Chain A
């Protein structure tokens, strides 16, 4: 896709974020369970006679999200009933916010610096989970698990401000970073469901419903952009419709046309009171907001003279930023930044691990960086210890001790090792003298082996060269 073509694409997102609470939005049922329909009560099953009572924490979290996304807060709001019939809706209406959401008119800044307008942030309940034994179309019946029914969500609705699937993906990355900072969303167990709409300028817009995860959205939008452009190219018109995304084939298919869209017939939710938030309460939420990644990155640049890129990487994850600030109390800023952004994140990415999935302790990391700084351990062995620590939880200091990896090699020891290697590999020495650089790398490797990696490669290389040239 060319840059020009992308200017025609208009994308808006509705992100449904599961709030990380203990209990559901309107009842005391847990938000996690092992067996189907084992975390339900009369409220979330929609039994007649049951009533909702709002989970205070869910409201606190929705306010935090609204404030972090620079929204205006509606001090007075209420809930509405959105009535539509579907097997996953225990009451055949969803309690949500319609006229007045908790937050409105905010924005989120992309990594490019572009601001995406947030139209609204509102609270609503999740429907149940449907299981289609032989696929959605083929199954004659639907299995329903109401454990999800009533789980608290915030829905974040953007303006149609994004112009490519990549930009939408960046929005979602920035958003999850904010949510992670706020501690309101559990990226490991919580769900992120997105309805996205995409249109090609001057054409009808198409909604892709219910896509799970950031990658899925990017794929779905990429497919839609190509599909819609294809339709236009063929001289056909795009119809206003809702489509579903297939997570196996990365394609979308038509679900329903605009005409068959339900009329939700919103009314005020009469089983809940109105809400009126006081200044004191709102201030307490505001004061509880952490420093967010944008602000933190700016501060890192100023305070630690880091380059913008490194500061950005270090602040993307609140734990990483925290470890960095703890480390620089005792080790060099450059070393800490490099160690965390290259080594630590490298290992996590390579093993497809999230920060939250590991049990990394700050003290262990700082200890390892200190050893590195003092020259007690080589970079190679430090990395080895870090891998062992992240994947198996083995303490780095213990690992280095037990494996004898401490850099206790003195100058004579290294010289001795070099001499032995040169003696044993005369053909390689000859090759190097003929100008084959590769042979030098081979010899460095041999010395590394002989010294159990305790010496640094660059040092060895330098000494080898001197020695050979002196021959």
Chain B
């Protein structure tokens, strides 16, 4: 059990104090033994992991070792393609799909010596807030702090395992409307979501292309930041990848001189206990030298959820059109017309929430409704982005609860209608729509269940977030 930071772990590996093969074996057996209880992984990449570990040990012996993630076990959300490893985005419709290529983030992590240990459980294609919308025949991951509660979603397995394991570990996760921050908050770990386009989406199986971001999950701000820095950067295979050079996410100058904006509406709409923990954390920031003021995002808090769901569902319903039982994934007996065959496979392969979102997305872009729903949402998005841009003229970083509640019990989640469920995302969707970088870190706890504080900065200001979160994390320990 190492429980040290990634940086320290790598130092020990380089010095030869840790055998990467042995360590990887230990991590794999821990996953095997805990997974039957918590369902954080839906696939263990045992052979691939050990093969990578052997290569790294051999490199260390010959002194040719390099890499900032040497021997570090990295879990990968199921929606990120790993060459030759079954990748299903949590959906039955991708059964048996073994990508012919690695996602750019996988290439980048591996070139720094990371060990890919397996694929983590998620809501099907990212369609959820609690990881309870997993695909047909998939289990639901459980919160390591209370098994009757959700890990959050959609990167539930990623956050759950990051919280559970005693080993050094970081996760590659993905967020469309808050799917990194939410589970990080519910499991008490750090979730770092970059600016849209900062990390290549090449090899990410889409939910909604204009909203999807690959980000990281770590036990600490330092771990999550290190992994994010490694996977960031321009990629010519992704037309929406940003050309700007990557800033290094080191400890920075912390809160000194930082202007923090407390988002009034998002505090107001959160549970009182959650609000209090977040207020305490913000006052810590003030003690560290930040100046704090209240700001308001009335349009985002009022219209964010509707605009987000309309756009994400419209895009998702086109992204999911490709799944039809022909080229990969779930297959059926080829019979009937193409319409009959496609409909049969799709009806069998998609889970309930996926169907709901495909229906809503198809509706929103159908002729006759398109202008009123899809297009209106896209226009609303302009207003919402502008509202953020105005606020960032006054402050450096926004702060508010990541989720309005602590991790709910499965029995409570069952009672929510889909719309009530969507409304739970009110704090995370505004930053997502605007493509703003944000980080969620543990601010405290309510009856032992963690509370996440979300910090959001302007586009490409990951450095500010990392440095502010790092200092706050130290102060809260």
Contacts and interface: CB of A to CB of B under 8 A. Distances in A.
Question: Per the CB under 8 Å rule, do A and B touch in the complex?
Answer: yes
A85 B321 contact: yes
B365 A52 contact: no
State the majority secondary structure of interface residues on B. loop
Interface stretch (A1-9, A90-98, A202-210): A90-98
B339 A85 contact: yes
Contacts of B324: 85, 92
B99 A265 contact: no
A90 B236 contact: no
B237 A91 contact: no
A247 interface: no
B64 interface: no
Given A45-B327, A51-B202, A83 B321 contact: yes
A170 B161 CA distance: 69
A52 B326 CA distance: 21
A91 B338 CA distance: 14
A272 interface: yes
A267 B318 contact: yes
Nearest to B338: A87
A268 interface: yes
Interface string B374-414: 10001000000000000000000000000000000000000
Interface in B44-86: 80-81
Nearest to A43: B237
Interface string A27-54: 0000000000000001001111111111
Interface string B205-247: 1101110000000000000000000000000111110000000
Interface residues of B, number: 46
B318 A48 contact: no
A414 B370 CA distance: 87
B314 interface: yes
A93 B239 CA distance: 18
A85 B338 contact: yes
A469 interface: no
A263 B367 contact: yes
A51 B339 CA distance: 26
Contact of A267 (B94, B240, B314): B314
Given A46-B322, A53-B239, A85-B324, A267 B374 contact: yes
Interface string A130-142: 0000000000111
B342 A266 contact: no
15 contacts: A45-B327, A49-B80, A49-B205, A51-B237, A53-B237, A85-B321, A85-B342, A92-B321, A93-B321, A265-B367, A265-B370, A266-B370, A270-B210, A271-B238, A271-B240
Contacts of B334: 140-141
Contacts, number: 105
A86 interface: yes
B366 A265 contact: yes
Given A85-B342, A273-B239, A49 B365 contact: no
A28 to B, nearest CB: 10
A271 B209 contact: yes
B204 A49 contact: yes
B99 A270 contact: no
B327 A268 contact: no
A91 B321 contact: yes
B157 to A, nearest CB: 19
B103 interface: yes
Contact of A49 (B203, B323, B327, B370): B203
Nearest to B336: A140
Interface in A44-76: 45-54
Interface string A80-112: 010101110011110000000000000000000
A276 B317 CA distance: 28
Interface string A263-284: 1111110111100000000000
Given A53-B239, A270-B209, A83 B81 contact: no
B315 interface: yes
Contacts of B339: 85
A87 B345 CA distance: 14
A51 B239 contact: yes
Contacts of A54: 239
Given A48-B94, A265-B370, A270-B210, A81 B318 contact: yes
State the majority secondary structure of interface residues on A. loop
Contact of A266 (B321, B362, B365): B365
B337 to A, nearest CB: 10
A45 to B, nearest CB: 6
Contacts of B374: 267
Given A54-B239, A92-B324, A270 B315 contact: yes
Nearest to A53: B239
A92 B321 CA distance: 6
Given A92-B322, A265-B366, A267-B315, 10 more contacts: A47-B99, A48-B89, A48-B206, A49-B81, A49-B101, A50-B202, A53-B238, A53-B239, A86-B338, A90-B327
B327 A46 contact: yes
Contacts of A46: 322, 327
A85 B343 CA distance: 10
A17 to B, nearest CB: 24
B291 to A, nearest CB: 37
Nearest to B200: A51
Interface string B88-112: 0100001001011101000000000
B100 A42 contact: yes
Contacts of A48: 81, 89, 94, 97, 205-206, 322-323, 328
Contacts of A42: 99-101
A267 B370 CA distance: 9
Contacts of A45: 327
Contacts of A93: 318, 321-322
Nearest to A142: B338
B239 A47 contact: no
Contacts of A140: 334-335
Nearest to A264: B367
B348 to A, nearest CB: 16
A91 B81 contact: no
A92 B318 CA distance: 8
B438 interface: no
A272 B374 CA distance: 18
B77 to A, nearest CB: 12
Nearest to A273: B239
A45 B322 CA distance: 10
A83 B318 contact: yes
A47 B210 contact: no
B201 interface: yes
Given A48-B94, A87-B326, A271 B239 contact: yes
A264 B314 CA distance: 12
Nearest to A26: B239
A184 B214 CA distance: 39
Nearest to A272: B239
A91 B322 contact: yes
Contacts of B81: 48-49
